[in-house]
Chain A
Amino acid sequence: MSEPKSTLKLVLSFCQSVLAGLVGIQSNQKREEDLNEGGLERMIYIGLGTFVVFVIIVVTAVNSALPD
C-alpha cells in the first residue's frame, strides 16, 4: 500500500491525467492509480479548466493569424 499523496502532488497528478486524456495517451499503471485515488470532482474541475485554457489558446492563435 503506497503512502497517501500530498494535495499538490494529487493536483499535479490529476493535471497530468487530464492532459493525458486530452491527447489520448495514458499508461495502464497511471489509469489504475487515478481510479484508486478517487477525487472525481477535482478531476472534473481540472478538466473544465483545461478546456477553457484550450479554447483561449485557439482563439488567441486565430486572432493573431488574422490581419488587423
Chain B
Amino acid sequence: MFSRTWQRLSSVVLGLFLSPAIMADWELNMPQGVTDISQSIYDLHMLIFWICVWIGVVVFGVMFYSIFAHRKSKGAKASQFHESLGLELLWTALPTAILIAMAVPATTTLIKMYDTTDAQVDIKITGHQWKWQYDYLGEDVGFFSNLTTSQDEIYDRTAKGDNYLLEVDKHVVVPTGQKIRFLITSNDVIHAWWVPEIAVKKDAIPGYINESWALIPEGKEGLYRGQCAELCGVDHGFMPIVLEAVTEDQYQIWLDDQRAAAEAQAAAALGDFSHEQLMVKGAEVYARSCAACHGAEGEGMGSVFPALAGSAIATGDMAEHIDIVLNGKQGTAMQAFAAQLGEVDLAAVITYERNAWGNDAGDTVTPKMIIDAKQ
C-alpha cells in the first residue's frame, strides 16, 4: 500500500519535472516586468533572495559540519563557556551590516515607487464589485471595464481560453514614454489594482485615494494583464485588468475615438429602437453585466442575488424596475448601474429582463424613458 503510494507520487513528481510544456508554464519567480521600477523591484527581490540563500547555506553548513565532525562517537566533548564578547559582537554586527546593506537599495526603490510627481497622464481607478472604472482626468474620457469571459467557460460548458478570466470589454489604454499616475479608490469594499508587469499593486479603499505610477518605455507597447489582489466578495476572481500600452500617437487617436463614441452613444439614445433590437442588445448586456449575480437564465444565486425569472420586480411596475437598475437598492448587493451603462444599454437590458425566461411583461423600455428617469 505504502510503496504503491510512493510509486504514484514519484510518477507525478517526475512527470512534472520532465514535461517541457509544464516546465515552460511553471513560472515560480516574480516577473521582471517592463518598467524601470519593476526591474528595480525584481533586482531587489533577487538580491535579498540570494542573501537569504547564502545565509541559509552558511548557517546550515556550519551546523551540519559541526554535528558530523564533532560527534560523540569520535570522542568530542562539548566546550562549556558562559560568555564570549567577540562572538557576541560578531553575531550582532554581522546581521546589522546585512540588514543595512538590504535597507539601502530597498529604501531607494521605495522612494522611487512613491514619487508620483510630474505625471503626464492621470487616471482615476475606482473598484466596484466586480469591475473597474477608469476616468482619464482632464480628458473627458471614462468607462467601466467588465469581464468578458463567457459563462459557458466559467461553468465548464466549453473549453477555457488562453486568457480565461483575464479578458475585459474595454482595455485601460496608456501611452508609452509618459509617466502615468494612477489614483486608486473604491466605491464599495476594499479591492486592489494589480498589474505585475508594471509593478503596480495598490489597495483601492473606499473614502481614500492611493497613488501609484508607471512609465512604460517606448518600444514596450502591448497588453499587460492583472487582477484584483484583495479578496472582495464572491466574484473577486471575475474583475481582471487589461492594460494596453500604445504609442503616444495611437493614444491620442484612442482618446478622440472615445470622445466620439460617447457622443455617438448620446445621440443614439435619442433614436428609435424596436422591441426586437432591444431584446438582442439586452441579452448581450445582461450576459456582460448582470449574469454573474443573477444567473445566465435569471435563476439567481442563493438569497443574496434574487432570481429575475418570474420576479415581481421584473414583471411588475416598470418605473420601479427602472429605478432599481439605475439607482441600486440600499441594504442589498444590488448596485446602481446609472453610471455604468449607457441609456441604450440600460433600456435594452431592462426590456430583456422583463421579457426573457418566461417573464411576460410585454412592454418595451426605451432609451428616452431612461433619460427621463435619470433627470
Is the pair B85, A27 in contact by a Cβ cutoff of 8 Å? yes
> C-beta contact mask, B83-98 vs A, less than 8 Å → 1, else 0?
1010011001000000
Is the pair A23, B92 in contact by a Cβ cutoff of 8 Å? yes
Is the pair A25, B92 in contact by a Cβ cutoff of 8 Å? yes
A67 interface neighbour in B83, B89, B111, Cβ under 8 Å: B111
B19 contacts partner chain A, Cβ-Cβ < 8 Å: no
- A23–B92 alpha-carbon span in the complex (Å): 7
A65 contacts partner chain B, Cβ-Cβ < 8 Å: yes
Give the interface size class of chain B: 10 to 19
Secondary structure dominating the interface of A = loop
Secondary structure dominating the interface of B = helix
Is the pair B92, A24 in contact by a Cβ cutoff of 8 Å? yes
Is the pair B92, A27 in contact by a Cβ cutoff of 8 Å? no
Given A27-B85, A28-B82, A28-B83, decide whether A65 and B107 contact each other with a Cβ distance below 8 A: yes
Is the pair B115, A67 in contact by a Cβ cutoff of 8 Å? yes
Kindly name the residue among B88, B89, B92, B108 whose own CB sees the greatest number of chain A CB atoms within 10 A: B88
- A28–B82 alpha-carbon span in the complex (Å): 9
Is the pair A65, B92 in contact by a Cβ cutoff of 8 Å? no
A65 interface neighbour in B82, B83, B108, Cβ under 8 Å: B108
Q: What are some 16 contacts across the A-B interface (CB < 8 A)? A: A23-B92, A24-B92, A25-B85, A25-B88, A25-B89, A25-B92, A27-B83, A27-B85, A28-B82, A28-B83, A65-B107, A65-B108, A65-B111, A66-B111, A67-B111, A67-B115
Residues of chain A at the chain B interface (Cβ within 8 Å) = 23-25, 27-28, 65-67
Beyond the given A24-B92, A27-B83, A28-B83, please list 8 additional residue pairs across the A-B interface where CB-CB is below 8 A: A23-B92, A25-B89, A25-B92, A28-B82, A65-B111, A66-B111, A67-B111, A67-B115
